[in-house]
Amino acid sequence: MVLLHGASIGVEAYVTFHRQIEPLSRSFRVIAFDQIGFGRTDMPADRRYRNRLERAEHAVAVLDALGVRAACLVGHSEGAFMAARIAVTRPDLVTRLVLMTSGGTAPALGGAADEAWMAASRRAYDYRNFPGDAEAFVAAARRASPAMDEQHAGLLREAYGRALASGQAAMMRDSQSDGPTDYRAYVRLQEDHLLPYLPQMTAPTLLIWANEDATVPVERGLALMRLIPRADMHVLNGSGHALMHDRPETVTRLLAWFCADSRTAHALYTGQEEPDE
């Protein structure tokens, strides 16, 4: 199982998926790496931010280098675009596909229906005005996920410190040097490189969507699901964009059920081996 994180200042693979990695590792080989320009992976030599299309190519190179022949790909936020793009361009690598609450993957709705989520996205991803220190960053993240525990807060604090020290935070701010992200231009990347190919995609696909993420309303998830022939969708109440932290047990169980054979899924759900028939 390959877990692909999203994109923002301080985003890292372990910070994103730490609640899922340990339980899933009991039954899967779990691969969760920091993408180029994130976490403990080197910053690009030219300090230019790599967009999600470029990072999808890098992810394929990582999987090839690790000898991964096929896997269940799980992507959150922009990581979902990467997972879906890999399923389109390298279907041999993908047995199953999970896409989690992703504005970088789902279609725009059209016209005035997009104004609210675009405004919410501009507020959430305004890197030029991100907090200047780790404590303020954690406080802002806690407001978005009120159930945050101290373990997660500590991981966020460390990741934000790394982002400041490595230059990742500065790189993300520089990516908006011309002003706030134009989200009509932003979605053109998936309109050009992903959405037209989804109706031909053959991998069984599960969408897991947050019911309380203003940046990616459920309607956009439904529009995405309708483009994928073999897709189902679960909507989680009481969850925002960080649904793997807001509803960790549910997300873990959905991943176990969808990506595993029946015996493995039963063990992960119940903690007991499935009896032989």
Question: Is-contact 139 133, C-beta < 8 A?
Answer: no
Give, for all 277 residues of the chain, the pLDDT tens digit.
999 999 999 999 999 999 999 999 999 999 999 999 999 999 999 999 999 999 999 999 999 999 999 999 999 999 999 999 999 999 999 999 999 999 999 999 999 999 999 999 999 999 999 988 889 889 888 887 877 889 999 999 999 999 999 999 999 999 999 999 999 999 999 999 999 999 999 999 999 999 999 999 999 999 999 999 999 999 999 999 999 999 999 999 999 999 986 445 445 545 555 444 3
Question: CB burial class (10 A; 0-12, 13-18, 19+) of residue 22?
Answer: exposed
Q: CA–CA separation, 269 vs 255, rounded Å?
A: 11
pLDDT for 262 = 44
Q: CA–CA separation, 113 vs 86, rounded Å?
A: 29
pLDDT for 148 = 85
pLDDT for 270 = 53
Question: Is-contact 107 227, C-beta < 8 A?
Answer: yes
Q: Which of 175, 90, 65 is nearest to 125 (CA)?
A: 175
SS3 label, residue 224:
helix
CATH for the 2-270 domain, from 2.30.40.10, 3.40.50.1820, 3.30.9.30, 3.40.50.720? 3.40.50.1820
SS3 label, residue 227:
helix
SS3 label, residue 186:
helix
Q: What share of the chain is helix, strand, coil (3-state, %, to 5)?
A: 50, 10, 35
pLDDT for 263 = 47
